[in-house]
């Protein structure tokens, strides 16, 4: 059982193919989920245009801040594997006195790679995935120190599948 405050900024953390967007769809309303893909699409007409990432995250942080000011739970569907990416989220949460929470989706690299190969919307190679896995390993020791008040780790496909979310009062 994953317990999160009714008002939180939830950062999903996981490599490409770990199932973040699937998890977000299953557990949250579409309007609660801000995805980096959707914001790249909004600012660049192309969800995969990595050159649009800075602008996309600017817009995402802005919308997240507005939602938190309005008292709305907000979920960020992005890999969130880099300290600087997470720092932006912790900053937005703090600016609005909202707790930043991380939910880590950790699947074996082979699983993520197999899924990636079946997707038309992803073209990255295996080395990119390996680098993301390395970034994930390094993230474990850092998340709490970076300011995430709760770090929930779901290890493996079964644990991700069985996860349920409960809201703290
Ligand atoms: P990026 O957006 O690239 O970072 O990936 P993601 O973490 O959002 O992964 P996504 O949820 O898009 O899942 C990737 C692929 O794996 C999709 O084709 C999903 O249908 C599939 N998938 C995700 N979760 C599960 C799962 O629990 N079981 C199975 N069998 N497939 C899954
Ligand atoms: Mg996704």
pLDDT at 63: 98
What DSSP string describes 137-162? HHHHTTHHHHT-SEEEEEEHHHHHHH
How confident is the model over 101-117, as a mean pLDDT?
98
Q: What are phi and psi of 44, to 5 degrees?
A: -135, 0
User: What's the rounded Cα separation, in Å, for the pair 21 and 18?
Assistant: 9
pLDDT digits (tens, 9 = 90+) for 74-85: 999 999 999 999
The mean pLDDT value for 135-152 works out to 97
Q: Containing H/E element for 130?
A: helix 126-140
CB 167 within 8 A of CB 4: yes
Give the closest ligand to the alpha carbon of residue 23: 1
Mean pLDDT, residues 142-162 taken together:
97
Question: In the structure, how many helices (H) and strands (E) does the chain have?
Answer: 8, 7
CB of 115 within 6 A of ligand 1: the answer is: yes
Share of the chain above pLDDT 90, in %: 99
Return the closest-CA partner of residue 78 out of 68, 69, 88: 88
pLDDT of 169 > 80? The answer is: no
User: Separation of 117 CA from ligand 1 center, angstroms?
Assistant: 11
Confirm or reject: Cβ of 79 under 6 Å from ligand 1.
yes
Look over the chain and give the mean of its residue pLDDT values, rounded to a whole number: 97
Q: What confidence score (pLDDT) does residue 62 get?
A: 98
Per-residue model confidence as pLDDT tens digits over 21-67: 999 999 999 999 999 999 999 999 999 999 999 999 999 999 999 99
**pLDDT surpasses 80 at 104:** yes
Contact residues for 140 (Cβ-Cβ < 8 A; gap 6+): 104, 153
Task: Please tell me if the CB atom of residue 32 comes closer than 6 angstroms to any atom of ligand 1.
Answer: no
- Nearest-atom number in ligand 1 for the CA of 79 is 4
Q: What is the residue-wise DSSP string for 28-57?
A: S-GGGEEEHHHHHHHHHS-TT-GGGHHHHH
């Amino acid at each position: 059982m994953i317990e999160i405050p009714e008002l939180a900024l939830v950062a999903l953390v996981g490599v490409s193919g770990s199932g973040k967007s699937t998890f977000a769809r299953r557990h949250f309303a579409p309007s609660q989920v801000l995805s980096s893909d959707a914001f790249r699409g909004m600012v660049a007409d192309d969800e995969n245009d990595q050159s649009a990432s800075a602008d996309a995250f600017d817009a995402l942080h802005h919308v997240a801040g507005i939602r938190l000011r309005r008292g709305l739970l907000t979920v960020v569907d992005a890999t969130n594997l880099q300290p600087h990416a997470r720092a932006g989220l912790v900053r937005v949460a703090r600016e609005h006195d909202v707790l930043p929470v991380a939910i880590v989706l950790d699947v074996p690299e082979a699983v993520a790679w197999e899924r990636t190969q079946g997707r038309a919307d992803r073209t990255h190679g295996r080395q990119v995935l390996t680098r993301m896995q390395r970034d994930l390993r390094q993230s474990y020791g850092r998340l709490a120190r970076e300011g995430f008040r709760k770090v929930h780790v779901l290890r493996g496909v079964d644990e991700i599948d069985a996860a349920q979310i409960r809201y703290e009062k």
